[in-house]
Amino acid sequence: MGKQSKGHAIMISVPYQGHINPFINLALKLASKGFTITFAHLEFVHQKLSKAHHSGNGTEVDLFTEARESGLDIRYATINDGFPLEFDRVLNFDEYWGIILRDFASLVDEFVGKTIQSEPFIVPFLVTDAVFYPWPATIADKYDIVNVAFWTQPALVFSLSYHLDLLREKGHFPCKDNVEDEINYVPGVESINTRDLMSYFKEDGFPIILYKTLPLTFEGVKKSDFIVHNTVDEESDILSALNKYQPNYAIGPINFSKNLTTNSISKSLWSESDCTQWLESKSPGSVLYVSFGSFVHTSKQIIEEIAYGLLLSEVNFIWVIREGILNSGDTNHVLPVGFEDEIKDKGLIVPWCDQITVLSNPAVGGFLTHNGWNSTVESMWCGVPMISYPIAFEQVTNMKLVVDDWKIGIRLCDHGMSVDRKIVAEKIKSVMCGGSISKRLRQEADKVKTVMRDALETDGSSKRNFDQFVEDLEAKIA
Ligand code: UDX
């Protein structure tokens, strides 16, 4: 602090872990470049964080105390979304998201107005997750401020959504079941089969609300001044193709930084179990990490097949059994009866952990993942090969990148979603037990790890892109 601020970024976070993590890291990155930040979480997120990190009512939790102590001008605020705190925003996602994309705008508008008034001498601008559009463009227009959209997923998914009209014209949006067409007409996208399209490209896919709102969201995104992406240029030529229309910058992997402040922020919505001691008792590369992220759920039958597949494989494992992992909503009887006794010291079951710390531990040699984009990038950063079990959203498209393009993972199921314990065990062994598949995956994962790390080096692609973005942003708001 003390130096003149370059501008005032007003940032409102999407209230889900997979969006919170990259968004907080973007806030820190911008603050480290000399911008003032007002970062707002929704009140229910603030309450969850307080519970997770202060084990009590802890209403005074402030994410950025340490960041401020290290000299960043970053303020923390909360904003009400108009729903009761106890309303389940995951189980009732369709209802919630429909209202967030419509009625939440007036609450944000009020918040933005007040925040601008609180700092009359610093030029304000709006930074929101791209999935919040179209309202960020409308609000920015009203206050005559610049708006930046942050896309937290791969450029491939962005580009397919950006070119919806083209896909519609060719009969691929909405996408129909049992059609396997090759799409090779989207600018910058070499080729993708319709079976690898996002679940919400189908009229009855999950979640239905996204199928309905996606066209409007991307109409809004097209009105943003800048788009930053949590990927690397090395993903593909997609962003250079998109630059014809709007300035796009690949600045990932955003969840990593050499700045320690980034890592000390409490982002997890659940208390983290410490796995380090257990991992230290295991030999290098011997542990499979299993997690399906913070949002999606599955059936008890699939959990059971994975559980017995893990046992049959005889591989060490850490498995995150998160609250809400079952689609039945049952929280007490997730794992098969007696399973936890059977695993003895071979497995560790935790409700949540610090995933990056786990993946960075040398004992971890594989990741059975739903391929949420953060998990995918974190695994790539750590050079850990994946076994992909996508459940919804864009996860199946991420799997295509991991398995077909970068060759750093294998599919858990070769067809559909049904899981069989013997196949689970076979797939786990092929990744974890040193055969030819395992060797090939590890070699490729090492190469990808280097690409990710190089991107953030002094002359790396993402470092250059971020500097360029800051320069362009400064020029625009000047
Ligand atoms: C959601 C969507 O489901 C996903 O498809 C989209 O790409 C992002 O938004 P989520 O399912 O939570 O995300 O998955 P993911 O993107 O992998 O994000 C989960 C985050 O939680 C990761 O950053 C991971 O490090 C963190 N995590 C997960 C933990 O810190 N601890 C855990 O125990 C599990």
Please identify, by atom number, the ligand 1 atom nearest to the C-alpha of residue 153: 7
* Mutation probe of ligand 1 site: the residue of 374, 388, 395 with most atoms within 8 A of C-beta: 374
Ligand 1 mean position, distance from CA 19 (Å): 8
Please identify, by atom number, the ligand 1 atom nearest to the C-alpha of residue 369: 17
Position 432 scores a pLDDT of: 98
Ligand 1 mean position, distance from CA 271 (Å): 15
Determine how many CB atoms are found less than 10 A away from the CB of residue 382: 21
177 burial (CB, 10 Å; 0-12 / 13-18 / 19+) is exposed
Specify the pTM. 0.97
Position 332 scores a pLDDT of: 81
Position 415 scores a pLDDT of: 79
Please identify, by atom number, the ligand 1 atom nearest to the C-alpha of residue 19: 9
Q: Dihedral of CA 108/111/116/117: which sign?
A: positive
Please identify, by atom number, the ligand 1 atom nearest to the C-alpha of residue 356: 25
Residue tagged 């280097």 (tokens): 450
Position 2 scores a pLDDT of: 55
Please identify, by atom number, the ligand 1 atom nearest to the C-alpha of residue 393: 5
Ligand 1 pocket, residues with Cβ under 6 angstroms: 16-19, 21, 153, 268, 291, 293-296, 320, 352-356, 372-375, 378, 393-395
Position 62 scores a pLDDT of: 82
Determine how many CB atoms are found less than 10 A away from the CB of residue 142: 11
Q: Whose CA is nearest to atom 34 of ligand 1?
A: 293
1 burial (CB, 10 Å; 0-12 / 13-18 / 19+) is exposed
Alpha helix ranges (H) inside 70-148: 93-100, 104-118, 135-143
Please identify, by atom number, the ligand 1 atom nearest to the C-alpha of residue 376: 17
Ligand 1 mean position, distance from CA 445 (Å): 20
* Mutation probe of ligand 1 site: the residue of 13, 14, 17 with most atoms within 8 A of C-beta: 17
Ligand 1 mean position, distance from CA 371 (Å): 9
Backbone angles phi, psi at 394, to 5 degrees: -95, 10
* Per-residue pLDDT tens digits of the chain, which is 478 residues long: 457 899 999 999 999 999 999 999 999 999 999 999 999 999 999 999 998 886 455 455 788 988 999 999 999 999 999 999 999 999 999 999 999 999 999 999 999 999 999 999 999 999 999 999 999 999 999 999 999 999 999 999 999 999 999 999 999 999 998 889 999 999 999 999 999 999 999 999 989 999 999 999 999 999 999 999 999 999 999 999 999 999 999 999 999 986 544 456 779 999 999 999 999 999 999 999 999 999 999 999 999 999 999 999 999 999 999 999 998 888 888 999 999 999 999 999 999 999 999 999 999 999 999 999 999 999 999 999 999 999 999 999 999 999 999 999 999 998 778 999 999 999 999 999 999 999 999 999 999 999 999 999 999 999 999 999 999 999 999 9
Ligand 1 mean position, distance from CA 168 (Å): 30
Q: Whose CA is nearest to atom 25 of ligand 1?
A: 355
Backbone angles phi, psi at 54, to 5 degrees: -130, 10
Q: What is the ipTM of this complex?
A: 0.99
Please identify, by atom number, the ligand 1 atom nearest to the C-alpha of residue 394: 5
Query: pLDDT tens-digit profile of 421-442?
Result: 999 999 999 999 999 999 999 9
User: CA–CA distance from 62 to each of 53, 66, 78, 103, 266 (Å)?
Assistant: 11, 9, 10, 27, 9
Q: Please give the Cα distance from 442 to 422 (Å, whole number).
A: 23
**CA within 13 Å, CB half, 272:** 14
Output the six-digit token pair for 130.
């791209």
Q: Please give the Cα distance from 81 to 99 (Å, whole number).
A: 9
Ligand 1 mean position, distance from CA 230 (Å): 14
Q: Whose CA is nearest to atom 20 of ligand 1?
A: 18
The answer to whether 280 and 228 have CB atoms below 8 angstroms apart is: no
Ligand 1 mean position, distance from CA 295 (Å): 7
Ligand 1 mean position, distance from CA 118 (Å): 34
Tell me the Cα Rg of the chain: 22
Ligand 1 mean position, distance from CA 159 (Å): 21
Position 264 scores a pLDDT of: 66
Ligand 1 mean position, distance from CA 372 (Å): 6
Ligand 1 mean position, distance from CA 293 (Å): 4
Q: Whose CA is nearest to atom 11 of ligand 1?
A: 293
Q: Whose CA is nearest to atom 15 of ligand 1?
A: 372
Backbone angles phi, psi at 262, to 5 degrees: -55, -40
Output the six-digit token pair for 10.
């007003």
